[in-house]
Amino acid sequence: MQDQKANKYDGNGIYQLVCPACNKKYNGQTGRPFRLRFREHYNDYKHANNRSKFAQHVIDEGHSFGPMNDVMKIVHFAEKGRMLDTLERFYIYRVTKYGNQINDKLTIQSNPIFEALVQNNPYKGPPLYT
């Protein structure tokens, strides 16, 4: 874990992009280095592509993008697979419940396990590694 913290953007797993202007959050997953995924979101912003929900939010709202160290938070280190898919759904679900997400709201379905975790967690943010 110490190695991952020292080079956190070289790892992969669940990340969160936080809009510097309004603090809304986008949660995503990647099996590639976090820094590469950040660059893809940034390029979508720079070239006004409609592939990144985060970039689209920043463009639509007239907000600034911000540097990786300020915008990207590492939520959970994990390898690609079913566990990573489930973790991503949970983090999107949690931010949606707090009304602060940029992800597509239509992808969130009711989940009693996620709901119990959200209700019993006094800390409203993800356990960030940053």
CATH topology (fold) of 2-119: GIY-YIG endonuclease (3.40.1440)
Over residues 83-105, the pLDDT tens digits come to 999 999 998 988 888 888 898 76
Q: Which of 89, 83, 88 is nearest to 29 (CA)?
A: 88
Over residues 22-49, the pLDDT tens digits come to 999 999 999 999 999 999 999 999 999 8
Over residues 7-21, the pLDDT tens digits come to 899 999 999 999 999
User: Residue ranges of the domains in the chain?
Assistant: 2-119
**Residues 6 or more apart whose Cβ sits within 8 Å of residue 91:** 14, 16, 27, 75, 76, 126
> Which two three-digit tokens encode residue 75?
């939520």
The span from the CA of 30 to the CA of 13, in Å, is 5
